Chain A
């Protein structure tokens, strides 16, 4: 590992001045001359047949350019919205997803008609004047209930609403349970969450009919995927489509998918000849942007009486919602089921996952995407086992940990973890928390009728998605490699172009740090370009904590090529042989005579002018490289939460939070901390406050920020963070991902802490979010 100024420095984020001064330019900040505005009329029913649509009154209103229905879009020849991750070996069905509903609506928020008008107000005024006649059908919102005989059928060609049945099997689970001394069981409800990115979604489409060119500004985490999928939907050649994701204000997975509104804007732009823009309201964001989680999990854990875990068996009903969103079927299967061994040796594992269609908003990847659902399941069961056997949850974890490894470790689900030392993060976290003292305090407080709880989560996660060969095998409709171009301008300034798409994570800074560190230029001299398919090389986007872990491999490839070419140029100019040229701190010099040297800026000028240049060398100093990792990367860590529960009111006071994570070498520790802070908060949001609720008719009861509780900074103690450093061998810098670790780890840590606090009261389960009322009822019920 290079240990210079730039790599490992907590420098302030280069992108922040424009964000914190309001100068960033988001999709909705882009308007072209003649832009018309699009509004979407959405279904007020979860499930209904469209009997008729009367658009005449709307069409006659001021400023209205046109009103279109699903039939108009279909007649235009557009294909449905594709699912791009159709998981294999699961009999996965892919029912059609029209961008605008044609015969039937399938969730509250499903598009029924669109209005294009001169301004946004006129578009929405006219939207309310469209008259739709519905025949209302039965709603089903719960994934397990959707599986039952007699449940409303979301699609005629999806029997029992079963989109997929996926299984993972390792070892002999039946035997493990037959031989078990103890079995603990639980039904876990992983509730539905609303991603709530600060910036809602937006799309602006311009169709240049004369040139046959489409330009789309879009709130996307992956503009190259949007371009690819838009070409499939619209029939426009991919080479004629430019997708620009300008500044994007958060995504958390919700801006991975290609959404119906992108197709609507392109369609409307083609029909009207005007640029067409749509920006969602927060109410639409909660109705029509993907949701996350929503599993019913029936779990059994088998063990020996000494606490050795021998088997895990689970049946999971995963809610996929009304249509298959872009990555939907991969989330509760590959990204969930394969993680079930966690950081433990569990020789026998079997899971059945049923992916269910329901009359709800589509469900897709939300920060952690499948892995939080696996980690919670496992960490909860491990704690239940500890309680059942009356063992300390720390000792039970330690007993079952995979021992430290550096050359790969295969678990029963078939994954090969890269490197790990789970004891290391646990030991450090225990030390920071002063575990012994905490247990003593807990005992003393209990005597005073106060209920302190200490909760653990020791996790490992898959990230750095991932090898393309695996992507193909599991049904992901694209590659998972990345590419990068490093270009030196004549003045020695550097432009780095990447295909990944940061949207708040700070890679304008961390990527500049990598380039600066490797090439010996100033961080400020590196411009990181992303977000425009016309200006960046192909890449598969930012999600799954893969951006740095994968793209840095491509950057390093390009950097090595630059260094090699620089060496040839320096050898020519310094009149030395290439083998004698060395490169360090931005200088090429002749081995043994450091005074005979040239800076990389000198070399850049020489390469760009080519006045005095090696005869057999191409001019310019620019290189591109592709990187396809050979494996995922597997960050890990230990989180400890300390809570106190008021048994009278059921209120939970989060008092301390200790997190020790191992994300490999840290390029910018301040940014890593920020990512972990945000992740922890989002994960605890699931435990304590967040939960999307539907009524029996399929109406979203938590449809606004007045009802859906997104955590606020003031509710948290200062987090106590530290880390260990175990580099991965999967990429050249040894870096892993840090974007999702907090979300994956914190939900069970706090849940387990609350259950630890309530243990003397006999409480065994509280559904999430653990609202005061739920805690109070659980205590009351347990006390009889």
Chain B
């Protein structure tokens, strides 16, 4: 397959996912037509069945140039993508233990996809690039905070491809190549 064909397939896949997403969202909106009492009892059931799962996030620190693990809880889901989304959302919230947040505060997660080959495509809002401080160390911190956190917590995820506004970008700030899927770098993690 040529690069063009891969890109085309990627775009088609993306369209399919978006269509499915819209379809399902509409269905969910249509569903809660039932009575309020029914809704309430449903919610109770949900709360009872909510199961938490411990995960590890990686943040840079003021102390050294390494990434440090911070434990967090997410809601368990049968869908891996749902859990992976939560990991990225938690990363974007920043650290509770005084580590550095390597993301511009405005950054939003747009989408997250997983291919059969184990590549997670993580799509961020333009802020991650436009408001990035630039610089090799800063870009490496941002990238490997995401990549290591996703690969560490989910076995099926082998590599991570970072997208901005749904598109492949050259770099965040002129240094590290974003037009490739990243493998994790656990050498960057403090022992």
Q: Decide if A and B are genuine partners.
A: no
Which residues from chain B sit less than 8 Å from chain A, CB to CB? none
Which residues in A have some Cβ–Cβ distance to B below 8 Å?
Answer: none
